[in-house]
Amino acid sequence: MANDRVIMTAILSNLQATRAAVSRAVESAGRQVADVHLLAVSKTFPAEAVREAYRAGQIAFGENYLQEALEKIEALRDLPLEWHFIGPIQSNKTRAIAENFAWVHSVDRLKIAERLSAQRPAHMPPLNVCLQVNVSGEATKSGVAPAEVEQLAREVARLPHLKLRGLMSIPSPAPGEMQQRRPFAQMRELLERLKSQGVAVDTLSMGMSQDFPAAIQEGATIVRIGSAIFGHRT
Ligand SMILES: *Cc1c(COP(=O)(O)O)cnc(C)c1O
């Protein structure tokens, strides 16, 4: 218990420090603070940690593992939270995702998007989606190839119960800000190209605890930050 208390106190100060660091990066990029949103990635941490972050003013939370996420969503029904699914999606999991999340960042094929749209309950607003892109140096094999982004974006944009918002990426770790910026710059160019081709998009989901300043320099509108807020995952 005493140990839990220490962790909960750290969440408040970590969140404040993270927000301050995000603001500094936004200012040094010459951008507006209101244009960059902080998604707190709570995977592996308990519902009580999410509740503590909510007390510190955090509303949007990201989860990677469906079963774990559903348990937290259920335990925290009393709070007005916004849940984002950011992990790999198996097709037999789409219904629960469509029914329980406001956003999905990790759509990388049409079949998954079609299922999410078909399974989104009619009484809910459209599910916000980002396409996960496999830019150079991507750590995982997930993600659509850059050359295929435009076609997938056009197909997803037509689905009735989805709202295409933009692009997401998870570049592999790189040591310095200059190296970190390269894949993020590629993402910015991809988003700009989509816009110039008439696809309505407004979101770049990129940047994690180790590289969010570089992502913000290149135009991130959502940074997904876990360990800097909740501590190291075991
Ligand atoms: C875990 C995870 C994050 C957060 O990573 P940290 O390094 O803990 O900030 C962000 N995005 C995705 C897709 C993740 O899986």
Whole-number CA gyration radius for the chain: 17
Is it the case that residue 134 has pLDDT exceeding 90? yes
Reading phi first (left if > 0) and then psi (alpha if -120 to 50, else beta), residue 142 is in beta
Is it the case that residue 141 has pLDDT exceeding 80? no
The domain ranges of the chain are: 2-230
Nearest ligand 1 atom to alpha carbon 43: 1
The CB of 168 under 6 Å from ligand 1? The reply is no
What's the 208 CA to ligand 1 centre distance in angstroms?
6
What confidence category does residue 6 fall into, taking pLDDT thresholds of 50, 70 and 90? low
Contact 163, 127 (CB under 8 A): yes
Is it the case that residue 45 has pLDDT exceeding 60? yes
Query: 82-85 and 162-168 as β-strands: parallel, antiparallel, unpaired?
Result: unpaired
Query: 108 is written with which tokens?
Result: 């990388």
The CB of 224 under 6 Å from ligand 1? The reply is yes
In tens, the pLDDT along 209-230 reads 999 999 999 999 999 999 999 9
In tens, the pLDDT along 175-216 reads 999 999 999 999 999 999 999 999 999 999 999 999 999 999
What's the 226 CA to ligand 1 centre distance in angstroms?
6
Is it the case that residue 41 has pLDDT exceeding 60? yes
Phi, psi dihedral angles at 218 (to 5 degrees): -100, 10
Query: 197 is written with which tokens?
Result: 């081709």
- CATH 1.10.10.10 applies to domain 2-230: no
Best of 11, 37, 41 for a ligand 1 pocket test (most atoms within 8 Å of beta carbon):
41
C-alpha distance across the termini of the chain, in Å:
18
- Work out the angle between the directed axes of helices 149-157 and 110-119 (0-180°, nearest 10): 20
What confidence category does residue 102 fall into, taking pLDDT thresholds of 50, 70 and 90? very high
SS3 assignment, position 159: coil
In tens, the pLDDT along 57-82 reads 999 999 999 999 999 999 999 999 99
Contact 37, 23 (CB under 8 A): no
SS3 assignment, position 102: coil
Tokens 């894949």 map to which residue? 183
Best of 14, 63, 64 for a ligand 1 pocket test (most atoms within 8 Å of beta carbon):
64
3-state DSSP: the chain helix, strand, coil percent, rounded to 5? 45, 20, 35
